[in-house]
Structure 1
């Protein structure tokens, strides 16, 4: 696996971690929807960055 691919996969792992935090927050007794929305927005951005890096020039 090339270095660029490994770096892109790290972005995907970070997105997964953010989604995990969002899931944990939703399971709280009193979830903070602002926190959940921010975590999901961050995950979306990381996924978009992953797509840009990982699939760049491969289509």
Structure 2
């Protein structure tokens, strides 16, 4: 799938929002927000995995 997304961050808050084309060719919109004391790169990696999972999904 194809993912187009924008990140955002504040102290302790990270976001990722955008669109993804899933494995069935459908365009999906998504938004993810974390509030954590974990390092920002850890939170971003988790959000990237969520977006990648949406891209590989044939979400019926």
TM class, shorter-length:
0.3 to 0.5
- Return the TM-score normalized by structure 2: 0.37
Query: Which protein has the larger Cα radius of gyration, Structure 1 or Structure 2?
Result: 1
More helix by share: 1
- Return the TM-score normalized by structure 1: 0.37
* Greater RCO (Cα-Cα under 8 Å, separation 6 or more): 1
More strand by share: 2
